[in-house]
Amino acid sequence: MRREQTAAEKRIWSRLRGKRFLGYKFRRQHAIGTYIVDFACLRSRLVIEIDGDSHGEDHAAELDGARTAWLQTQGLRVLRFWNHSVIEDIDSVMESVYYALECDAVPAHAPLPDGEREFQRGVFANKSISA
């Protein structure tokens, strides 16, 4: 568990903390089994992980895959975002979180493994999701 958050973690936490996001309660640096996840909404069984550059390395990607697979065996859904995605396009990140929470599924436009995203702009424009 880290004491200091990354810039990306601070940015997303400012949107999630204190039930600011649609009234959902999120926990930061929450222990699940032997893992400590970046953010968790226990009510919706959703985990959000923010990955830095080191997660793109083969060994780290392998560990992340095993971690995600284990979390899924526990009935959790896992969303992963690259640091730069959170910093550069927080609205799209929050859109993905919205769909995971409200539609009870990871959307087709969830983050892709290489950090690229596919989604339709404007679909989310009329929804008020931030504080």
Q: Which residues face 39 on adjacent strands?
A: 28, 48
| pTM score above 0.85 | no
pLDDT band at 65 (very low <50, low <70, confident <90, very high): confident
Residues 67/35, Cβ–Cβ less than 8 Å: yes
Please state the length of the chain: 131
* Candidate ranges 44-53, 58-67, 102-111; pick with highest mean pLDDT: 44-53
Q: Which of 13-27, 48-62, 65-79, 98-112 has the lowest mean pLDDT?
A: 98-112
Task: Give the pLDDT confidence of 27-61 residue by residue, as tens digits.
Answer: 999 999 999 999 999 999 999 999 875 544 556 67
Q: Which CATH architecture has domain 7-102?
A: 3-Layer(aba) Sandwich (3.40)
3-state secondary structure of 64: helix
The answer to whether 129 and 14 have CB atoms below 8 angstroms apart is no
Q: Whole-angstrom Cα distance, residue 34 to residue 22? A: 29
Q: What residues does each domain of the chain span?
A: 7-102
- Please check the confidence at residue 4 and state whether its pLDDT lies above 80: yes
